[in-house]
Amino acid sequence: MEKIVSELIRKPLPLVSVVLSFYNEATILNELVSRLRNVMRGEIERITISGYELIFVNDASNDNSLEILKAELATGQDLVVVDMSNNFGVSECVLAGMQISKGDLVVYLDADLQDPPEVIPELIEKWHADPDVEVVYTTRLSRAGEHPLKLLITHLGYKFINWTSEIKFPLNSGDFKLLSRRVVTELLQIKEKKPYLRGLVSWIGFKQSQVFYHRAERHDGRENTKRPAFSTRVIKYALDSAIISFSDTPLKASLLIGFLISLASILYIGVVLVQKLMGVSVPGLSAVMAAVLLLGGMNLFMIGIMGLYVNIIFLNSRERPDYIISKVYSFDNRRIP
């Protein structure tokens, strides 16, 4: 341990910003703040960081989460609370926290204590160990309290996204990462609607390192996820953000399917003409109806795929901001950038 500390002393000690997006987490916020402070103060004592700030981004919660954090502001000069004007989503709120942050390093993680704050020192140590590393991401070895069916669906979902995508996502790696200021600056320059943060961090590239951990159950005993695996919001998020934003495979697949159906139709017409010339009666209203329904369904399916891409073009053409910050509460009277 003394050898590690002595090596770290010779490197510039970073200021670390910890960013957490939350929605209705009143039952665990006090515990979360306490554990984060213990971890980050321990890192200062180990001389691995020069200081830290905890940035909580309130995604328009309708419980008393904001009041709890405003009370925590008075207990230490390390807290920043970003209040959003509306419910924008996790990725958007994390980007808002990054915009407010001042750290040389930014760590972002879920606010439900499933991502243990006690893993943060491992991320910092990984970053210190290699001067070329710009991203340290985490990979879950286990996920306590998760239903096996949900784990299977999630695993297959990542496999499918990797198969169709132009970039490769680390399996079982979520929104618990350490980013250098260089990577954060690049992320904030991307003006993309419905940002898929996991994908964007992989797309940006740079040298990345990995830390393994065991994901915990929710601290307050509630269901581990607020959204079931088959919820419309999860499916919409997967389609719009993960697949459509990073892959043109659905368009290529629709082109291939259209070609195969057209080829089969031409062959069928040839068969019908040959039978007609041979004087063979070809009854088949049911066959004709089945073919019409099949072709009609395939056309609608392909139009729907193209519609998803057109929708992304439409969203980007409107040039609305991804998020709007309503107010910032902080120990240093920080202003909205």
Specify the CATH number of the domain 2-233+323-330: 3.90.550.10
For the stretch 179-193, pLDDT in tens is 999 999 998 988 877
pLDDT, mean of residues 75-86: 88
The rounded radius of gyration (Å) of the Cα atoms in the chain is: 25
Q: How far is CA 222 from the centre of its chain?
A: 22
| Strand spans (E) along the chain | 15-22, 51-58, 79-84, 105-108, 133-143, 177-180, 207-215, 325-330
User: What is the pTM (predicted TM-score) of this model?
Assistant: 0.71
**Per-domain residue ranges of the chain:** 2-233+323-330, 249-318
DSSP string computed for 266-291 = HHHHHHHHHHHHTT-----HHHHHHH
Q: Which of 18-32, 157-171, 205-219 has the lowest mean pLDDT?
A: 157-171
pLDDT band for 164, please (50, 70, 90 cuts): low
* Percentage above 90 pLDDT, the chain: 20
CA pair distance 170, 310, nearest whole angstrom:
28
Residue with tokens 């925590």: 72
CA pair distance 245, 316, nearest whole angstrom:
12
Edge-to-edge, what's the strand order for the sheet holding 177-180?
Answer: 207-215, 133-143, 177-180, 105-108, 15-22, 51-58, 79-84, 325-330
